[in-house]
Amino acid sequence: MHPTPLLVWTQFKCLSNAVIVEVEYAANRFGDLSGFATYQAPTVPWYNHDVLDFREIALQARAAWKRLSSTFKTEWAIEDYPIEVQSHRILTASPAFRHEPFPWTARAINWPGMLGGGDTRQEAVENLRKCFEQFKASKKDLPRPGTRVPIQFAANTRVNQHTKLAKDFAKRVLGVEWAWISDESSLSDFSDEGTNDRLVQQIRTVYGVDVSDIPSGNLADILDRIAQIADFSG
C-alpha cells in the first residue's frame, strides 16, 4: 500500500537532500513571473511513483488556473502561462549529447518546445522569455495558456525531394545511420565544434561540392547544391 499524497508530501520535506518538490505562487518571486514550480527527481525509489503523480497533479492544477485566468485577457505574455523551472544534477558529460546540458531549464507547462536553459534559474527563465517573444514575433497564433499544445514537426518538403541523397548524406557526412532532417536543419545541429569547417570539408571530399558560401549551413540548401552539381544516382 502506498502512502497518501499528504503523507508523501510530509516525507518530502523531511528529505531535503533527496527531494525538492516546491510549488510556489508568490508574486514577483522570480522576475516578473507570478509563480513557478520547481522539481528535482527523487532518489528514494519506494515513493517514486507517488512523487511523480503528485507533481503532475500540481502542474496541471497550475495550468488549469492559468487557463481560467487567461479568459479575462485578449493578449497574453509569458507571465500568463504556467511555468515550471527545473534544476538538473549534471555529474559528467555524456557522449550521447552533442551539446552540454544546462543545469537549469524553464518551460511552459503543456507546451512542448517552449523552453529555455541556463546556468542559473534567472538565465533559464530569461531564455524562456526570449523563446516566447521570438515565437510571438513570428505572428503565429498563441495557444491559450495552460492548454495542451500538440507537438509540431518542422516541414521537410525540400529535403524529401532528395530522399536517397539525404540518407547518403547522413551516413557519409554526418556519420550517423539515420537522421531526421527538416527544411530548417543545419550543419550546426550535428556538430559541437563551434564551426562547420570539418563538415564542409567532408562534403567537399565526398561529393566534390563547395558549400562554404552557405553561411547558415542549412541542409536543404546544401542538398539542393549537391543535387545540382554532383552526379548522385543514389
Q: Which CATH architecture has domain 159-229?
A: Orthogonal Bundle (1.10)
Instruction: Please say whether the beta carbons of 234 and 228 come within 8 A.
Output: no
Residue 32's pLDDT band (boundaries 50, 70, 90)?
A: very low
Domain residue limits, the chain:
5-137, 159-229
The C-alpha atoms of residue 106 and residue 118 are separated, in whole angstroms, by: 9
Cβ-based neighbour number of residue 100 at 10 Å: 11
Mapped to the 3 state alphabet, what secondary structure does 148-180 carry?
CCCCCCCCCCCHHHHHHHHHHHHHHHHCCCCCC
Instruction: Please say whether the beta carbons of 12 and 19 come within 8 A.
Output: yes
pLDDT at 96: 43
Type and span of the H or E element at 85: strand 83-87
The C-alpha atoms of residue 110 and residue 163 are separated, in whole angstroms, by: 33
The C-alpha atoms of residue 17 and residue 137 are separated, in whole angstroms, by: 42
Q: Which of 29-33, 77-81, 93-97 has the highest mean pLDDT?
A: 77-81
pLDDT digits (tens, 9 = 90+) for 43-92: 445 455 555 678 889 999 999 999 999 999 989 999 999 999 999 876 55
What are the DSSP calls for 172-226, one per residue? III--S-----TT-BGGGG--SSSSHHHHHHHHHHH----TT-TT-BHHHHHHHH
Instruction: Please say whether the beta carbons of 118 and 127 come within 8 A.
Output: yes
The pLDDT mean for the chain works out to 77
pLDDT at 90: 66
Amino acid, res. 57:
I
User: Alpha helices, DSSP H only, in 24-120?
Assistant: 48-70
Does position 231 have pLDDT exceeding 90, yes or no? no
pLDDT digits (tens, 9 = 90+) for 148-205: 998 777 788 899 999 999 999 999 999 999 888 999 899 988 887 778 899 999 999 9
Query: How many Cα atoms within 13 Å fall on the side-chain side of residue 206?
Result: 20
Instruction: Please say whether the beta carbons of 218 and 186 come within 8 A.
Output: yes
Query: What residue has cell string 550543419?
Result: 187
Query: What residue has cell string 562547420?
Result: 196
| 210 vs 13 pLDDT, higher one | 210
Q: Phi/psi at 86 (nearest 5 deg)?
A: -120, 140
Cell numbers linked to 183? 527544411
User: Alpha helices, DSSP H only, in 71-157?
Assistant: 121-137
Residue 11's pLDDT band (boundaries 50, 70, 90)?
A: very low
Strand-by-strand arrangement of the 20-24 sheet: 20-24, 36-40, 83-87, 104-108, 115-118
